[in-house]
Amino acid sequence: MNKALRLDPRTKFILLLGVNLLFLVSHSLLVEIILVSFSLGVILIDRKYKSALKYLIIFLVLLYIDRGLSVYLSGFYFTIINFIAYALRRFLPCLIVGKWILETTEVSDFVATMWKLKLPTSVIIPLSVVFRYFPTIKEEWNSIRSAMKIRGFRLSFEHVMVPLLFSAVMVSEELSAAALCRGLDNPGKHSSLIEIKMHGIDYLILGIFLIIVCLTCTLKGVGVIS
Amino acid sequence: MNKTFENVKAKSTAERNYDAEKDYIIEVRNLNFEYSRSDDSSDEDNTSRAKELSASSKTSKSNLKNINLSIKAGECIILCGKSGCGKSSLIRLFNGMIPSFYEGEISGDLFFEKKRLTEMSMYEIAKGIGTVFQNPRTQFYTVNTTSEIAFGLENMGFDREEIKRRVERTAKDLDIENLMNRSIFELSGGEKQIIAFASIYAMNPDVYLLDEPSANLDFFAINKIKRILKLLKKAGKTIIIAEHRLFYLAEIFDRAIYMKDGEINREYSREDLKNMSKEEHIKTGIRMLDLGKVELENTENLLNKKDMYLTYLSGYYGKRKAIEIDHLKISSGKIYGIIGHNGAGKSTFLSTLSGIIKKSDGYSLIESNVITKRQRLKESYIVMQEVNHQLFMDSVKEEVVASAYKRDKSEEDFKNLMDHLDLTGLEDRHPMTLSGGQKQRVIIASAKYSNKKILLFDEPTSGLDYYHMCKTASLIKELSKEDCYILIVTHDYEFIANVCDSIIRIEKGALKENYELDGNGFDKLKAFFGVA
């Protein structure tokens, strides 16, 4: 069971928030490279070697389009492509961390953390239903795709959205009902089977991240980077 | 108040007296409930349609009228009646979803262990009353079996050690140690439903509410559910179960409450249900209690038949061969029932035959012409279990007419088709606002409109009462008169006996046997389903 690293969900969310803010603070390539390396480092610790390699290649390709190809190419279309590549690259650290959180956080951990943070029920219930719905989408999607194929419909936004939205409404309603019937709305103490606790590794990763933040702010303050 | 059951309209139909001294765990007196409607004051087309849609998304909404019911601790009560009779509403009332989750106008009294249930919050109710829902797909709050079983206990704030102890005990009692700590997406429908039971069992409530727990399950999974129910009954738990299929409850239930139009219409004892005539089954929608009494009713068409031959037809999931049929002859006009254990490859067979599967191999011929996978895709249609995934358009008419494979059809043809399928008058409705049976018919209509010849059904009668099951059966019989190849994947024994002419049994990704459903074949079928 403990084959993968179990970071405290709080650590994960601090990282997600931090990475997002940091990329708003600075436009410098240096900070970007540090952030990408950091997020790749995190998922490497979590033994996601394949996705780490994938992200690394994506990052290098996007970087090459911006810094390498733009020397030779110009024109309207390339500007658009370059812009998209640039935006994607800027967002990459957030994407890496976000996807990693979705993949590795159990809904129950997530809910337990929210109770621990003493968030109000009105926040916890809808958020956890949304969180739970993501893995269901894939199942629904496959089934809808088969139905479209048999009708000979091409993949189109409208054809997918109508059944998907309906199933979203239905599934979320039934999910909430099932959860409420097992006492999710209990205002008192909630416990958890799996202990939610900050471990050494949490502090280590947060520490490294703090250093990156300080470094960035100092460098920006001094005016070394933009 | 020693009358356990009374009904103003039909007082004489059934009155039974219980020991007045006995404590009732649940008591309902003169209860009425009406779902609050979104007010439709604005007559703008868009908003009213949106409201219509949002109203329909809240699955079934039958109001309750004048409910009087007393339930003793340790009793097992079946709530039965046709779809929309209000049995789900009654379940929602008992678990507190009415009025906490579904709002509306409520009057009358409802007591649980002498306390007013309507004044308790849902988490208080959850301690004493647990609910297992119909759809195994959507009642999991977490995605891991162990944390799912722990979920209710976590909400109650038990210590970690206590949660661990209870989860382990639940796994042992229900014999599901092999299912622990798995992703719920790897489980079959039956396994999911058992985990749903387990998550309630761990909380150890006094009352178990079950809302059609067998609707999406196969015969074998139902037997496992039956075992769990026996265990609960032995432990003295009160069980209230809304259900169409009764055969698996025969040894467990004490009495059956029949509901109609939101009212309790009458009460049936085991004897009453055993001696019920076929007409009464159709009238009440109650399924057979004793499957041994089910009779063959198939009537094969002897019209000009064409044959389709499949040779070494195989379908792959990724690189794994999920199904291979070495030789099979399918005749038009005949209705084939496809049976087999869970995960045997029945649904994969349908997607292979219809050509929607990505990788497939082998040959298929109609008469003596080879037909390719692409042609099969053009000719075939699957009516899936989840009808909502198959409706894409804004109106019934568009839904029926829209298809990439258009054939020459006139307005007249369309009208006839709608008439034939009992859909006249619904042309402009949004398909999502229709009832389950109507949705199914719209999908069949669109298949017929595009002249599809291979009609495949995946569990068309799951969750249907006897009346609607018979309707679906006669509709499929009607379709079989028109030179179509009809194959149905089903676990519904009563339905098979009613409609199928031939049985295709698939096990472990291969054709196990193929037999005609005559006297001999019927014995084989009985043996497969374990019907005495």
- Chain B contact present for A155, CB below 8 A: no
pLDDT at B447 over 50: yes
Domains, chain B, ranges and CATH?
24-34+59-289 (3.40.50.300), 307-529 (3.40.50.300)
Residue B487, SS3? Answer: strand
Residues with Cβ within 8 Å of B19's Cβ and at least 6 positions away in sequence, in order, are: B2
Structure tokens at B184: 């719920």
Burial class of residue B271 (count of CB atoms within 10 Å of its CB; 0-12, 13-18, 19+): exposed
- Chain B contact present for A119, CB below 8 A: no
Give the mean model confidence (pLDDT) for residues B4-11: 38
End-to-end CA distance of chain A: 45
Query: What distance in Å separates residue A60's CA from the closest CA in chain B?
Result: 31
Q: For chain A, which residues make up each domain, given as ranges? A: 6-105+198-221, 108-181
- Chain B contact present for A192, CB below 8 A: yes
The pLDDT of residue B406 is 60
Of A112, A162, A175, the CB nearest to B141: A175
Give the mean model confidence (pLDDT) for residues B430-449: 86
pLDDT at B15 over 70: no
pLDDT digits (tens, 9 = 90+) for B170-179: 999 999 999 9
pLDDT band, very low/low/confident/very high, at B352 (cuts 50, 70, 90): very high
CA distance B514 to A212: 69
Give the mean model confidence (pLDDT) for residues A85-101: 88
CB A163 within 8 A of CB A139: no
The pLDDT of residue A5 is 65
pLDDT digits (tens, 9 = 90+) for B508-521: 999 999 999 988 99
pLDDT band, very low/low/confident/very high, at B278 (cuts 50, 70, 90): confident
**The B115-116 sheet, strands edge to edge:** B64-72, B24-35, B104-112, B115-116
Residues with Cβ within 8 Å of B362's Cβ and at least 6 positions away in sequence, in order, are: B310, B311, B312, B313, B314, B324, B325
Amino acid at B469: M
Contact residues, chain A, for B203 at CB < 8 Å: 182-183
Higher pLDDT, B39 or B32: B32
List A residues 43-72 in contact with B (Cβ-Cβ < 8 A): none
Spatial CA neighbour of B320 closest among B294, B347, B358: B358
Beta strand B380-383 with B129-132 is unpaired
Handedness of CA A211, A213, A218, A220 (dihedral sign): positive
pLDDT digits (tens, 9 = 90+) for B115-159: 999 889 999 999 999 999 988 888 888 888 998 999 999 999 999
pLDDT at B44 over 90: no
Structure tokens at B99: 């009025």
DSSP category for residue B468? H
CA distance B331 to B483: 9
Percent of the residues in chain B that have a pLDDT greater than 90, as a whole number? 44
Contact residues, chain B, for A179 at CB < 8 Å: 141, 151
CA Rg value for chain A: 21
The pLDDT of residue B170 is 95
Spatial CA neighbour of B459 closest among B482, B509, B493: B493
| Inter-chain Cβ pairs, chain A and chain B, closer than 8 A | 183
CB B276 within 8 A of CB B285: no
Percent of the residues in chain B that have a pLDDT greater than 70, as a whole number? 89
Percent of the residues in chain A that have a pLDDT greater than 70, as a whole number? 97
pLDDT at B532 over 50: yes
The pLDDT of residue B199 is 94
| Listed range (A91-100, B84-93, B190-199, B292-301) with the worst mean pLDDT | B292-301
The pLDDT of residue B6 is 40
pTM of the model: 0.81
Higher pLDDT, B39 or B194: B194
pLDDT at B78 over 50: yes
Spatial CA neighbour of B210 closest among B115, B140, B122, B136: B136
Cα angle value B490/B493/B494 (rounded, 5°) = 115
Top-ranked range on mean pLDDT: pick from A134-148, B151-165, B360-374: B151-165
Query: What distance in Å separates residue A172's CA from the closest CA in chain B?
Result: 8
Give me chain A's average pLDDT, please: 84
Spatial CA neighbour of B226 closest among B209, B203, B258, B251: B251
- Chain A contact present for B382, CB below 8 A: yes
Question: Is the previous residue joined to B99 through a cis bond, with omega within 30 degrees of 0?
Answer: yes
Residue B508, SS3? Answer: coil
Which chain A residue shows the shortest CA-CA distance from B93?
A: A181
